[in-house]
Amino acid sequence: MKEGIYLIDKPAGWTSFDVVAWFRNRMSDVGDRKKPRIKVGHSGTLDPFATGLLIIMVGKKFTKRQSEFMKLDKDYEATLKLGFSSSTGDPEGEIIKNSKFEI
């Protein structure tokens, strides 16, 4: 893997940090203590349950550009399940309200 900018389709269940850690481990030679750890960053956090594009920057030259990507417009798509509320306001929480309604 080379330094650069990578567009990752983050799967559900992974945190943004999980993706960064995976890249960092791929880029670093753990056995060579003289080799500095490579810089890896991302352009915005996605919730663990969310899927979508995560921009990963690898290497100092590219991580310096993080703010450029943070300022870009973003689009979001969502699937809703009407009539339910969770303790956390997202799919990871416990269902605390189930409203039956007719359309």
Give me the residue spans of the domains in the chain.
4-74
Please identify which of the residues 9, 47, 73, 90 carries the catalytic annotation: 47
pLDDT per residue, tens digit, the chain (103 aa), is: 789 999 999 999 999 999 999 988 887 765 566 666 788 999 988 888 889 999 999 999 999 999 999 988 888 888 887 888 889 888 888 988 888 765 5
**pTM for the full model?**
0.73
Active site residue 47: yes
- In total, the chain counts a number of residues equal to 103
> Tokens 């080799």 identify what position?
35
DSSP state string for 33-91: TTSPPPPEEESS---TT--EEEEEEESHHHHTTHHHHHTS---------TTEEESSSST
Determine how β-strand 40-42 pairs with β-strand 52-58.
antiparallel
